[in-house]
Structure 1
Amino acid sequence: MSSPELDFVSRFLTLATLSKPELPADYKLPLQQVSSQGIALPPVKYKYDPRRSRNGGSSEDDRNSSVILTLKSVRAPKFSVEWQFSTRDTVLQVKERLVEEGKASGTQNLKLLLKGKVLHDSELLSSVTSDRAIINVMISKVAQTAASPALEHPEVGSKSPLSEMPWNEIENILSSKFADPRDAQEALDRLKRGWELAK
């Protein structure tokens, strides 16, 4: 230890042993004498509904309450519909209704926006709006993943046109592009190796 550290330790130990502690190790201040309540925490953000009953169930008014949504499409196909939903319905149920009515091909292609914010599928309509709302609908284009299933899985008995590669034609093209025939043959060999590895 350096000199300042030794000096600090010796002074600290001297001060600590000068007098015995006045309070025992398990001392607790009575709650009546506590003047400070500690750190003030921010209030919890919770929507309290005083109309709900004490047993946790909702009142008859809440069960029967409804919300009127005006759904407007932003992009083509453009539409504007006004439907009534229960406040206990979710955003996903609104999307499913749009699909049922033929406005979209699937719920995964739909995004509902309220005042520019995207609404998530699990949100209840009661948390989104109270009685009326205009919701913008964005329909994304369907990805064409299953456009040609015949090319992905050719029949076992049929011979695909890719199995008979026109290597002679490729060799002629490479010979015309390369001045040295050895370079053309090397490029052809590399193409053949790559073709075999890709199978």
Structure 2
Amino acid sequence: MASPEHEFVSKFLTLATLNQPVLPADYKKPLQQVNSLGVALPALKYKYHSKKTNRHNNDKGLKLVLKNIKPPKFTLEHVFSCNDTVRQVKELLISEGKAQQSSQLKLLLKGKVLHDSGILSELLENEATITVMISKLEAVQPQEEPTTTRKILQVPWKAIENTLAQEWDDPQQAALALERLQRGWNLTK
């Protein structure tokens, strides 16, 4: 039994190939003659404010006040282009010496974190105060390099043998224990 998808594709291909194509494969229509783009789309279900989105087209720029509320406190004002990104704001803070890396910086607007790829014109304000949070620079721990030449330890086998001989009255048990210790030591090399 065929699946519904298979049945649909089969019927579609059958209907599509009943008649020869009317237009050649290399047919192009001049753009001036195009008066519709096919099926009309339904109206948007949310309110679209064209005035808000077109407000920044004059490219006066956005005045941002960057404030750090934790020590060392600072306030920095700068006018950015509407097309600048949040990453460019972070780069300004780095160039001003407020941080060393962009990973240290977190920018907040009305309590919401701004992502690096966000465009400033999305803020929908001519002026905005952005809270800057600076974390401590994470210390990069150097990875331990594998030592190719290990320092060879000289094990005092004679002293161990003497100690074992003093502890056990039977010299065969002392020799057997020393042999096991030496085998275990050699396995760890």
- TM-score (normalised: structure 1): 0.50
RMSD, matched Cα: 4.2
Structure 1 residues 142 and 90: CA distance shift in structure 2, 3 A: same
Of 115, 118, 121, 2:113 maps to 118
Percent of aligned pairs with the same amino acid: 35
Structure 1 residues 191 and 51: CA distance shift in structure 2, 3 A: same
Contact 1:67-1:129 at 8 Å conserved across structures: no
What's the CA shift for 1:167? Answer: 5.8
Greater relative CO, 1 or 2 (CA 8 Å, sep 6+): 2
What's the CA shift for 1:62? Answer: 1.8
- Deviations along 1:140-181, one digit per CA (max 9) or x if unpaired, are 222222x558x6488xxxx96xx1154638x98xx9xxx998
SS in 2 for 1:108: helix
Instruction: Provide the C-alpha distance between the structure 2 equivalents of 1:134 and 1:188, rounded to a whole number of angstroms.
Output: 71
Contact 2:53-2:124 at 8 Å conserved across structures: no
Structure 1 residues 93 and 51: CA distance shift in structure 2, 3 A: closer
- Residue 64 of structure 2 aligns with an amino acid whose one-letter code is L
Structure 1 residues 89 and 186: CA distance shift in structure 2, 3 A: same
Number of residue equivalences: 133
Instruction: Provide the C-alpha distance between the structure 1 equivalents of 2:71 and 2:128, rounded to a whole number of angstroms.
Output: 21
Correspondence 1:89-108 to 2 at 5 A: 89-108=84-103
Correspondence 1:26-37 to 2 at 5 A: none
2:93 corresponds to 1:79: no
- Deviations along 1:53-88, one digit per CA (max 9) or x if unpaired, are xxxxxx9x6242221111112334332111111222
Q: Which runs of 4+ in 1 moved over 6 A?
A: none
- Residue 70 of structure 1 aligns with an amino acid whose one-letter code is V
SS in 2 for 1:104: coil
- Gap regions ≥5 residues in structure 1: 1-39, 53-58
2:139 corresponds to 1:137: no
- Deviations along 1:83-115, one digit per CA (max 9) or x if unpaired, are 111222111110111111111101122110111
SS in 1 for 2:77: strand
